[in-house]
Structure 1
Amino acid sequence: MLGISAFDEGVYRALLTHASRDVTALSNVLESTPARVTHALRRLAALGLARRAERGRWEATGPRSTLTALLNKRRAETVSAFSEAEAAVDDLHTMYRLGRLQKNPGDLVEVHTGKEAVARRVAELSASLSTHLWILDRPPYLDRTNGQPHDGSTETAITRAWLARGVDIRSIYCPDSMAYPGRFETVLKLTALGEQSRMLPRLPFKLHIIDRRTAIMPLTGGVYDSIAVVHGSGLLDALVELFEAYWSKAEPLVGEGRLPSDVPAFEDRPSDADVMLLRMLHHGLKDQAIARQLGVSTRTATRRVAALMDRLGAQTRFQAGASARERGWLEL
């Protein structure tokens, strides 16, 4: 019980059921020696579970308050021990990596080829994720069915689980990230869950940084069938700094503020579809990409864009974005 020996627990239970007994009486109940019972009582007293009463008798303290306090203490010790063990694992892994690198500097970068090998290594690294996941998101993508990625349900579930564990997830997207229908909507859901999401007009390559200790990069631009896994090194430091530089330039996917009080009220409020369309326009998606997200033809997407611009009294997409911000539509 909470790190107490079986015998000491038996003495405590005897005190609970045979209140205010002396050592001799307790030793008879427990069929043990007075000396052994005395040592147990002293250990229980040190834990706050027993106290000496008058005339050499002993009594138990209330279990709810004392055992709860002991439980909290054990819980804190467990957390501390876990943190120390985790730090020890990191130290041992660092020693292992340094030893391997002295023997073979090529171990700084792993190269994996073949879809099965790539999927297996990515799964292993994802399972080890604990603190950070920083992403430059663009094709190619790993999960495909008949040449197309899966829907966003699995990605959403995994992201929710990581966020619940306190993982710092930051993703930078670009118009090329919206490579299949519904991707923009999925990204908005991830943002609502707590992912920090930003956009840039273009990204140079795909990148995953895991716990700031490992990076994954595809080696080809078309199919996710070969990757480089970069471990702690000057190269990894450069990739981390590169991500941070892009992050500072990128624009939040969704406005962080609310509609300011001094913005004039407009009776004509946007629908959810209007807001999504405006966000896609704002972040540089062309009509063909918008059509893919909406699951309509390019001609239909062009008509919807034109209708929305006409509604905003805008001659260009830039004017449409400016007018939408003025109305507070992009902050909804």
Structure 2
Amino acid sequence: MTSGEGADGERELDADILRVYQLRVTNPTDGLSRLAARAGLTPEEAARAEVRLLALGLLQRSPSGGWVAIDPESAADHLLAPVEQEILEKRIAMAATREQLLALSGDYVEARSLRSIRSSIENVAGIDNIRAVVDDLVRTCAGTLDVLVPGGGQSEAGIRFATPLDLDLLARGVRIRALFQHTARRHRATLQYMRRIASAGAEVRSSSTLPARMQIYDRECAVLPIDQEDTGAGVAIVRDPAILAYVSRVFDQCWADGTDVAEHAETPCVSGPSGTEREVLHLLAEGRTNEEIARLLGLSQRSVSRTVAALMARLDAGNRFQAGAAAVLRGWLD
């Protein structure tokens, strides 16, 4: 292309255009043919160069005829003034918007302080709202997260939501203790999730039964389930010191009765019980608690919890009642 034609030419000044511009500076009264001859161009090429220079503001028509070359600085001021004005207006609008948003900072801090009153209990309904609250709690959690996860296998959506949050907490040095039910170990996706967070540093245990789902952040805020018949899923965000102390004791007791997931083999053994295991099974069938079994047999609660968990895994039982029934069917209590 000559004289800067085409898409790229619109942005560049080639040698022909620059030559015509220089000649117009020194020979403003030359006709087109004379100018073209000086530049070594055809009249058509010289005309196209002048049109490009005119578009850039580098040439202006002279009242007496011919052309007047304009210095580049003046041409730039004239050509870019509208663009610069538009940029200035956008910057002013951006500054005004930023000022409006920053003006809300005080309201946000005040609202957070009200929300964080330690005697408050906040009800949150709807899965999206609950997840937004959990995101906020995870972001501000600094020390510990204690979790009870009752039931068997967890939903894939729940696992997808929880995994990155847990890994982020662990990466920040937050201590996570997660307690599942034994039946969760028989759900492949849940077991993989348990192992994944455990490999990242979480402490993961399982127990025969759990009272309710709960999450306790830094021992300062607890997320507890509530009945929401009309609105669907719902939780209570609890910061009341008395309630927090109670749910923390509940968690600690459940945690003490749990057994590390890593201690269990992937494939349950179906061999009969040993002497101690048989005694534990008999007391289990009588409805005795782990604490009572430990006292009657002179064992530690930790040892009893481990034995009960192993027996339930071998019997493929979801709770203590199912374990007793399965043991009777297998003849283990004869």
TM-score normalised according to structure 2 size: 0.43
The structure with more radius of gyration: 2
State the TM-score, normalized to the length of structure 1: 0.43
